[in-house]
Chains A and B, each alone.
Chain A
Amino acid sequence: MKFIVKYIKDIWGAITSLLKGMRRTLYYFTHHKEIITQQYPDNRDTLNLPERFKGEVVMPHDENNEHRCTGCQACELACPNGTIKVIFKNEINAEGKKKKAIDKLVYHLELCTMCNLCIEACPSDAIKMAQTFEHSVFDRNQLTKILNNPGSKIMEGVE
């Protein structure tokens, strides 16, 4: 008797759960506003990228051409495939002391997998992910980018 009750319960559960799934797909079938496909080359101007879409690593600069990178190399160490290289220079600051600062932050876009580990590793939020994605070029050397602007220097107060 117990067996039969379980058997019928199984069938009932199966039917209700399948109907639940079918109701969801019918909802999508009849509500075309929910369609998430982007017709990319046609809607370049109104492209609506998701919040967490990651296109490339950039270093934001403020209006005084200052960035927040201390050159701690955390990003270089965090990168799993050697995308980021930090090249240093010695800088003499206002008090006449020698101080290490970045000369170039070299970023190989062609090696990057957009894994976001460098951004998470950065202690001073100097780099972030941009949402640009039209990266194709004719020469792969153009994919090797220098993230800090020429002549830029570190922001005051960032250690």
Chain B
Amino acid sequence: MWSLSHITNEIHEWLSSTFNPTWTLIFEMVLAGVAVIGLFAVLGLVLVIMERKVSAWMQIRLGPNRVGPKGILQSTADTIKLMVKEGMTPSGADKFLFNLAPFIAMIVAMLLMAPLAFAKDFQLWDLNIGVLFVSAISSLSVISILMAGWASNNKYSLLGAMRSGAQIVSYELSAGLSVLSIVVLAGSLSVSDIINSQADGWWIFKGHIPAIIAFITFIIAVTAETNRAPFDLAEAESELTAGFHTEYSGMKFALFFLAEYVNVFIVCAIGATLFLGGWMPLHIGSWDGFNHAMDYIPSSIWFFGKTFFLIFLIMWFRWTFPRLRIDQLLNLEWKYLLPISMINLLLITAMAILKWHF
């Protein structure tokens, strides 16, 4: 049967039969790198046009509709424009850190791709602490923002970076706790184990109400972590012009922009993996007929379908809710999300010990 894992196996066998092991490894690493960069480019184009169309339709507008049929080539045209634009460095800036920051943002986003399972048996690196790896690496993304904000030598950038730092550091807690609740239920940190534990139903259905609460806190926390509205204080247009990337232009700005969208994709992919079963088709307990029918839909379509559903959810938040003030933001985290997710984690642990879940 046609599948992504089949293709990778074919490539691996052909490479192993043609070259010696070292060269095979090098070629496979290069292929994986090219695939990740290609996925980045496609994601950037698709997500930007999707965001613009979704925002337009939610605000009773038309959105981009001139470049290409129905405007779908708009983001391609924007990318070409950004690539040929001059990337300026302000004179008072710390040039080294200023130019390094967008690349750090991109590298962090690339590293986060490693443990994601895009389809059945299609994963770059199935390490046994996959989920912990993701939360560890995503805590590095704040560094690039702080770097960009400081190196720009601009008070708006610095304010944006400070806000974003406070926001990411505090929302990491509730995101981590809600991730942990699924780890408790699945009994493993490995992404493939978590997906396999959902073969008889997704955790959001199997885990009763506590899993749904964990899902809601997770979505709120990751929306804040990716600095998107209603938590976009770091780049609040009306207050700080563009926050930490005020001074960036051309391709360096494009890298920040791309990293933001790729981060959205990654957190949604993690959410889909943990709560909605990743590439696992919709299975219900022991209804074998139904489960077999669902298996005919390829696993990659399940994964991307769930991920894009969550991305749509986050975009829906962005174009519905007004921006929070900084004190409201911190109140929401420390007075509501954190206590709720702690109690929720206790409930889920009790549930996992007493085997109350399905």
Is the Cβ of B62 less than 8 Å from the Cβ of A39?
A: yes
A22 and B316 contact, CB distance less than 8 A:
yes
Residues of chain B contacted by A22 (CB below 8 angstroms): 316-317, 320
How many chain A residues touch B (CB < 8 A): the figure is 15
Contacts of A138 in B (CB 8 A): none
Partner of A26, one of B316, B321, B336: B316
> B54 interface residue, CB < 8 Å from A?
yes
Tell me the residues in window 13-29 of chain B with beta carbons closer than 8 Å to chain A beta carbons. none
Closest to A37 in B: B62
Taking CB atoms and an 8 Å cut-off, the chain B residues in 31-82 that contact chain A are 54, 57-62
Chain B proximity of A137: nearest CB distance (Å): 28
Q: Which chain A residues lie closer than 8 Å to B57 at the CB level?
A: 28-29, 32, 35
Which A residues are in CB contact (< 8 Å) with B321?
Answer: 18, 21
- Tell yes or no: B319 within 8 A of A by CB: yes
Q: Roughly how many angstroms separate A32 CA and B63 CA in the complex, as a whole number?
A: 12
Number of cross-chain contacts by CB at 8 Å: 36
A15 to B213, CA, bound (A): 12
Contact B336 A25 (CB under 8 A): no
Interface of A is mostly: helix
How long is the Cα–Cα vector from A24 to B58 in the complex, in angstroms? 9
Asked whether, in the complex, the Cβ of B316 is within 8 Å of the Cβ of A25, the reply is yes
* Nearest chain B residue, comparing its CB with the CB of A18: B321
Residue of A nearest to B313 (CB): A22
Closest residue to A14 on the B side, CB-wise?
Answer: B336
Interface size on B, residues (CB 8 A): 14
Known: A21-B321, A29-B54. A35 touches B61 (CB 8 A): yes
Q: Which residues of B contact A39 (CB under 8 A)?
A: 62
> Are B61 and A11 in contact, CB atoms less than 8 angstroms apart?
no
Contact A11 B336 (CB under 8 A): yes
Chain A 1-43 residues near chain B, CB threshold 8 A: 11, 18, 21-22, 24-26, 28-29, 32, 34-37, 39
A39 vs B340: C-alpha distance when bound (angstroms): 48
Q: How far is the CA of A39 from the CA of B61 in the complex (A)?
A: 11
Q: When chains A and B are docked, how far (Å) is the Cα of A21 from the Cα of B229?
A: 15
Residues of A close to B54: CB separation below 8 A: 29
Chain A residue at smallest Cβ distance from B335: A7
CB atoms of A28 and B60 under 8 A apart: yes
A28 and B58 contact, CB distance less than 8 A: yes
- Residues on B with beta carbons closer than 8 Å to the beta carbon of A36: 60-61
CB pair B320–A21 under 8 Å, yes or no, is yes
Bound Cα distance A35, B59 (Å): 8
With the chains together, A69 CA to B257 CA distance in Å?
A: 59
| Binary contact readout A89-117 vs B (1 if CB under 8 angstroms, 0 otherwise) | 00000000000000000000000000000
B336's nearest neighbour on chain A, judged by CB, is: A11
A34 to B340, alpha carbons, bound, how many Å?
39
How distant is B60 from chain A, measured CB to nearest CB, in Å? 5
CA gap between A78 and B317 in the complex, in Å:
46
Q: Give the interface centre of B58, B61, B317 by most chain A CB atoms within 10 Å.
A: B58
B320 touches A25 (CB 8 A): yes
Neighbour of A28 across the interface among B59, B62, B340, CB < 8 A: B59
In angstroms, how far is the closest chain A Cβ from the Cβ of B83?
29
Question: Cβ of A35: which chain B residues have Cβ within 8 Å of it?
Answer: 57, 60-62
Q: Which interface residue of A11, A29, A39 has the most chain B CB atoms within 10 A?
A: A29
Which 4 interchain pairs have the tightest Cβ spacing? A25-B58, A37-B62, A25-B320, A29-B57
Can you list 16 pairs linking A and B with CB atoms under 8 Å apart?
A18-B320, A18-B321, A22-B316, A22-B320, A24-B320, A25-B58, A25-B316, A25-B320, A26-B316, A28-B58, A28-B60, A34-B60, A35-B60, A37-B61, A37-B62, A39-B62
Interface residues of chain A, those whose CB is within 8 Å of chain B, are 11, 18, 21-22, 24-26, 28-29, 32, 34-37, 39
Q: A24-B320, A32-B57 are in contact. List 12 more A-B contacts (CB 8 A).
A: A11-B336, A18-B321, A22-B316, A25-B58, A25-B316, A25-B319, A26-B316, A28-B57, A28-B60, A29-B57, A29-B316, A36-B61
